[in-house]
Amino acid sequence: MNTLTQVPFLDLRAHHEPLMAEFTAAFRQVVERSAFAGGPFVAKFEEEFAAFCGTASAIGVGNGTDALWLSLLALGVGPGHEVITIPNSFMATAEAISYCGAKPVFVDIDESTYLMDPSKLAAAVTPNTRAIIPVQLFGQCADMDPILEIARRHDLPVVEDACQAHGAEYQGRKAGSLGVTGCFSFYPGKNLGAFGEAGAIVTSDPALRATMQVLRDHGQSKKYCHSLIGWNARMDGLQGAILSIKLKHLNAANAARRAHAHLYHELLAEVPEVVRPTEAPGNLHVYHIYALRVKNRDRLLPQLAERGVSCAIHYPVPIHLQEAYRGLGLGRGSFPVAERCADEFLSLPMFPELKPEQIQRVVTELKACLIANR
Ligand SMILES: Cc1ncc(COP(=O)(O)O)c(C=O)c1O
């Protein structure tokens, strides 16, 4: 194996290197102003990110899990309540529900988009339902119009888990702006990633905004005046400064991801073993993850690694089958589409600086493995 031709799953260094001088200057400014927790750099980023998402405001928080949790708390979700989401998200979506004392209720996904299946949503609503969380997984929005319509009919708020969908669009509207709140993670590997943990909630609802701003800062409406029992969920000043720089490059980075996805799509067209991801009509997919479906995925993953191609799985075990949620009593067969997809998902290398030759190489190695396994 020639290490020079290894293809990494993600290369953050390649993304950051050209911006190093700007990062260094931003670091100096934050240190000079000692603006470490919240403060002017977070406020500036909040304004820029709200404008990017097309919402009235953004609230910087500690991470995407905080964003989901504070959204639900501000909506009054608590013990005895249910919140509907999908089983093939990252664990944090369900954790945020559980940490309000509520119960996650899952609906299966659409087989072509891997997102919440609106046709299965209404049946999951009960008198205890208090919110719906569609997850804009892999960088694409769920079919939001029917989801919002069902929510409207039942008078339920929709909280978007847009943690993987910075800049994605649905019918021309940005991910995060479609629900009452939109929750983002800026974990370093995301399409918009910080230099550590960070997240944001976007909203155009002034009352929710005010509550979430208080909740993220120990429930303080004024210094040492605690109107609510909150938490420390503030964003670091340094993360705000870094994110302002990186936000300027997000559209270009997303366009590069889309170009890479199109090349993968073309090169994989004639490979019968592979189901390629699709972009639903009216959607702009930003390919946080380029996930194929393929049988014998678990055999393929180490074979590709052996040939110098790093892949990943998002996610191998759906949430309802995780040990932590055994108490829900949902066994295999509860959500057949999500379970089948979890067995077959294989995420190929995807980052803006990926080169066409690297994509070609990934496909060549993948084809070689598939032929060898026939
Ligand atoms: C779909 C989804 N929801 C929630 C989260 C939680 O975000 P964070 O890791 O910033 O808490 C993530 C992050 O990986 C995610 O991908």
For 340, residues 6+ apart whose C-beta sits below 8 A from its C-beta are none
Whether the predicted model's global pTM rises above the 0.85 cut: yes
For 296, the token pair is 């014998």
Q: Confirm if 320 and 335 have CB atoms less than 8 A apart.
A: yes
Q: Long-range CB contacts (< 8 A, 24+ apart) of 145-153?
A: 145/171, 146/118, 146/119, 146/121, 147/116, 147/118, 147/121, 148/178, 148/179, 150/118, 150/121, 150/122, 150/125, 153/122
For 284, the token pair is 């702009």
The residue type at 148: L
Q: Hey, how many other C-beta atoms are within 10 angstroms of the C-beta on 357?
A: 10
159-161, strands of its sheet edge to edge: 57-61, 199-203, 181-185, 159-161
Measuring from atom 12 of ligand 1, which residue has the nearest CA? 163
Name residues contacting ligand 1 (CB within 6 A): 63-65, 89-90, 92-93, 135, 161, 163-164, 185, 187, 199
Strands (E), 43-166: 57-61, 82-85, 103-106, 129-132, 159-161
pLDDT value of residue 4: 53
- Taking the centre of ligand 1 as the mean of its atom positions, its distance from the CA of residue 115, in whole angstroms, is 16
Q: Hey, how many other C-beta atoms are within 10 angstroms of the C-beta on 223?
A: 7
Instruction: For residue range 243-267, list pLDDT tens digits in order.
Output: 999 999 999 999 999 999 999 999 9
Q: Confirm if 76 and 249 have CB atoms less than 8 A apart.
A: no
Instruction: For residue range 81-96, list pLDDT tens digits in order.
Output: 999 999 999 999 999 9
pLDDT value of residue 76: 98
Containing H/E element for 202? strand 199-203
**Which atom of ligand 1 is nearest the CA belonging to 96?**
4
- Taking the centre of ligand 1 as the mean of its atom positions, its distance from the CA of residue 192, in whole angstroms, is 12
- Taking the centre of ligand 1 as the mean of its atom positions, its distance from the CA of residue 185, in whole angstroms, is 5
The residue type at 26: A
Dihedral sign, Cα of residue 88, residue 278, residue 192, residue 353: positive
The separation between the first and the last C-alpha atoms of the chain, rounded to the nearest angstrom, is: 23
- Taking the centre of ligand 1 as the mean of its atom positions, its distance from the CA of residue 91, in whole angstroms, is 8
Containing H/E element for 49? helix 40-53
Instruction: Per residue of the chain (374 residues), give pLDDT as tens.
Output: 454 579 999 999 999 999 999 999 999 999 999 999 999 999 999 999 999 999 999 999 999 999 999 999 999 999 999 999 999 999 999 999 999 999 999 999 999 999 999 999 999 999 999 999 999 999 999 999 999 999 999 999 999 999 999 999 999 999 999 999 999 999 999 999 999 999 999 999 999 999 999 999 999 999 999 999 999 999 999 999 999 999 999 999 999 999 999 999 999 999 999 999 999 999 999 999 999 999 999 999 999 999 999 999 999 999 999 999 999 999 999 999 999 999 999 999 999 999 999 999 999 999 999 999 99
Of the candidates 66, 50, 39, the one whose C-alpha atom is nearest the C-alpha of residue 230 is 66
Measuring from atom 8 of ligand 1, which residue has the nearest CA? 64
Backbone angles phi, psi at 57, to 5 degrees: -150, 165
Cα distances (Å, whole numbers) of residue 286 to 117, 182, 263, 266: 20, 16, 14, 17
Instruction: For residue range 273-294, list pLDDT tens digits in order.
Output: 999 999 999 999 999 999 999 9
pLDDT value of residue 1: 46
Q: Confirm if 102 and 78 have CB atoms less than 8 A apart.
A: yes
